[in-house]
Amino acid sequence: MTNSAGAEADGSRGAFSVDSTVAGAAPQGFFHAFQRGWDAELGDGLPLRSFNRDVTGDFRVRSRAAKVRDLALTDIHSMSAIRTAHALGGVEDRVRMYVVKRGAWTLDGSRDRDRHTVSAGQFLLRHVGRPWRFEAVPHTMVKIILLPTVPLTPLLGNRAVTGPADSAEVRLLVAHANMVYETMAGLGPAGVQAAHSTLLELAQAVARRRFDDVEPRLAPALARAAKDLADSHLTDPELSPTMLARELNVSLRTLQRAFTVAEESLIAYIRHRRLEEARRALIASAGRLSVSELAAHWQFADSSHFIRSFKKAYGQTPAEYARSTGPAES
């Protein structure tokens, strides 16, 4: 299954996605669909690797990609093993960044010392002189960012920058890349320029291992990174703006300023998301969970506070909501 969105805008193209994991999708058909999407949406001197035939019989992969001028973003979620047939010849004067969320991604150059395995929770950023062969174990999730060399080689030289994917700089870069996927189709030339500049700024921050927390262009990425981090800690009693600022290596004032730019409140966002998850849990349990259990799990001060907040958000108490939705709602 493939879909594409967005038209060319100022040298950039919209995102496209391909999924060979859905029911009825022929694994072999993935290659043709992905090749068509890649050529149409990215293309332009970015050759697609040829895959090893011993893995194509069971090739179950979800992928999305987008191009922002001379940058390219690709997300790959492989249910099966994937492996390229060989390293391509020639020269690839590019910088590549790999951020692995799950599994392991191995890159293999022409020399033994060029072999790198990026494990789950890690990233690798380096200049690539020639295309590398790669392979991934089943259930690998990786984000690949293809970058121009000029802004980055003075910071990288011949070294590879590696480290944890939960560092503040990488969190911001990943958050901004995800926003690009979501908004690419609607961006005009000014939006494309802003997205491109911010991606480059954050890639340089990864190479320097620090970012400029007063740079206004980074405020949306900082707010998005804080939201993503908050979403993964909704049941944590320690979740607070102070904790998020500490994890993102910024001052509380800087984080609050980023949300002010977005005309949001971080406290309100956390409360909204906790209520949303409590509502889903209430429906999924068909009312079997008590109000006190829901309040405790989603870190509300007490049952009364939870009931008041829930009614304000959804117009009904939790008990009324559970009765009105019934078992059929999903």
Q: At what angle do helices 219-231 and 168-183 cross, to 10 degrees?
A: 100
What percent of the chain lies above the pLDDT cut of 90?
A: 47
pLDDT at 188 over 70: yes
Most confident of the following: 35-39, 128-132, 150-154? 150-154
Beta bridge partners of 75: 64, 143
DSSP-assigned letter for residue 47: P
Mean pLDDT of the chain: 83
Q: Is the pLDDT reported for residue 242 higher than 60?
A: yes
Does the pLDDT of residue 72 top 60, yes or no? Answer: yes
Which own/partner contact pairs does 294-300 have at CB distance under 8 Å and 24+ positions apart?
A: 294/318, 297/235, 298/234, 298/235, 298/274, 299/234, 299/235, 299/236, 299/237, 299/239, 299/274, 300/274
pLDDT of residue 43: 59
Percent of the chain with pLDDT over 70: 75
Confidence of residue 9 (pLDDT cuts 50, 70, 90): very low
Token couple for 171: 């969190």
Which two three-digit tokens encode residue 270? 């956390």
pLDDT at 19: 65
Instruction: Flag whether pLDDT at 42 surpasses 80.
Output: no
Residue with structure tokens 């940058």? 71
CB 1 within 8 A of CB 18: yes
Is-above-0.85 flag for pTM? no
Pairwise CA distance, residues 213 & 179, whole Å:
19
Alpha carbon dihedral 84, 85, 87, 89, in 10-degree steps, equals -130
What is the predicted pLDDT for the residue at 20? Answer: 60
Main-chain phi, psi angles of 230, to 5 degrees: -60, -40
Which pLDDT tens digit goes with each residue over 75-125? Answer: 988 888 888 766 555 567 789 999 999 999 998 865 556 788 999 999 999
- Residue 1 exposed, middle or buried by CB count within 10 Å (0-12, 13-18, 19+): middle
Q: What is the DSSP string of 264-291?
A: --HHHHHHHHHHHHHHHHHHHTTT-S-H
pLDDT tens profile 293-327:
999 999 998 999 999 999 999 999 998 988 887 65
pLDDT band at 264 (very low <50, low <70, confident <90, very high): confident
β-bridge partners, 2 = 18
By C-alpha distance, which of 10, 14, 42 is closest to 197?
Answer: 10
Among positive and negative, which fits the CA dihedral 100, 103, 105, 106? Answer: positive
